[in-house]
Amino acid sequence: LPPVFLLLTALELSWSLSDEEKKIILDGHNQYRSQVSPPAMDMLKMTWDTELEAFAQAYAEKCIWDHNKERGRRGENLFAMAPILDLEFAVEDWNAEEKYYNFSTATCVPGQMCGHYTQVVWASTHQIGCGSKFCEKIDGLDTEDMYLLVCNYYPPGNMKGRKPYREGPSCSQCPQGRVCVNSLCEAEVGTGEPVSPFTTEDPTLLESMGTAFSPKPVPETNKDMDQPTAGAPGTCLGLSLFLLPSVILVSLLL
């Protein structure tokens, strides 16, 4: 049994996001949060949370193109891509829904999705954790051999009838214990995260727009990519990049 366990552990580790990849996702979110228009009075800086990461990774392993019904009080954004997983592009793609969102009326252009965007720029959401998985088959998608990215957020955004943030001069309403850095309310060093400001949320999530996902970005993503005409070489490249480290890990451990 121990060798099997080691094998599974090694495989699991190799599929997870690297520190560099996590930083790309986190920095992407904070960059878009710092650049919202109109500006935000109360936009918190996001930090990476390893518990959310483990939660997202465990769900990504299941290769399902639908929201995690066990996510509880966590926000969730999904993304799928082939033949490679471009994390910068994934966050950019979510944020690009901004063009469909009317901030003054808090409405989305009919037939479009805005929930990924509003979760990315939800002011009170200050923790993120993501996981990814290469899936030969994703339940709910026809395209084979795709990467699935799952990001979970806390506290969740997309509360019914609420705007993602309060409009006004940047950082003018940062919660106590936070200082303004680059238009974001950042936790003061040493004092830890304030706890009380985040307990007053309306627990009712707006499911329809909320933890949004859509199969639509997938074909678009495929079209946007520089795919080799044959298809296969690109896929193989993506595969070998991720398979090789796991093979080395396994042989080292066993």
What residue ranges bind ligand NAG (CB under 6 A)?
Answer: 102, 104-105
Q: CB 105 → ligand NAG: shortest distance, Å? A: 4
List the structure tokens of 211.
């933890």
- DSSP β-ladder status, 144-154 and 178-181: unpaired
State which residue, 81 or 108, has the beta carbon closest to ligand NAG. 108
State which residue, 106 or 248, has the beta carbon closest to ligand NAG. 106
* Cβ–Cβ under 8 Å, residues 73 and 200: no
SS3 category, 248: helix
Q: CB 108 → ligand NAG: shortest distance, Å? A: 11
Q: What is the edge-to-edge ordering of all strands in the sheet holding 75-81?
A: 47-48, 127-137, 144-154, 75-81
State which residue, 58 or 96, has the beta carbon closest to ligand NAG. 96
How many Cα atoms within 13 Å fall on the side-chain side of residue 155?
17
d(CA 111, CA 37): 23
Strands (E), the chain: 47-48, 75-81, 101-102, 107-108, 127-137, 144-154, 178-181, 184-187
State which residue, 168 or 233, has the beta carbon closest to ligand NAG. 168
Q: CB 95 → ligand NAG: shortest distance, Å? A: 16
State which residue, 38 or 233, has the beta carbon closest to ligand NAG. 38
For residues 23-47, one letter each, b for 16 or more C-beta atoms within 10 angstroms of the residue's C-beta and e for the rest, the string is: ebbbebbbebbbebeebbbbbbbbe
List the structure tokens of 50.
């390893």
User: In the complex, which residue's CB is closest to ligand NAG?
Assistant: 102
SS3 category, 194: coil
State which residue, 104 or 229, has the beta carbon closest to ligand NAG. 104
Q: CB 40 → ligand NAG: shortest distance, Å? A: 16
Cis peptide before 155 (omega within 30 of 0): yes
List the structure tokens of 79.
């993304």
Q: CB 103 → ligand NAG: shortest distance, Å? A: 7
Q: CB 212 → ligand NAG: shortest distance, Å? A: 20
State which residue, 121 or 150, has the beta carbon closest to ligand NAG. 121
Q: CB 218 → ligand NAG: shortest distance, Å? A: 27
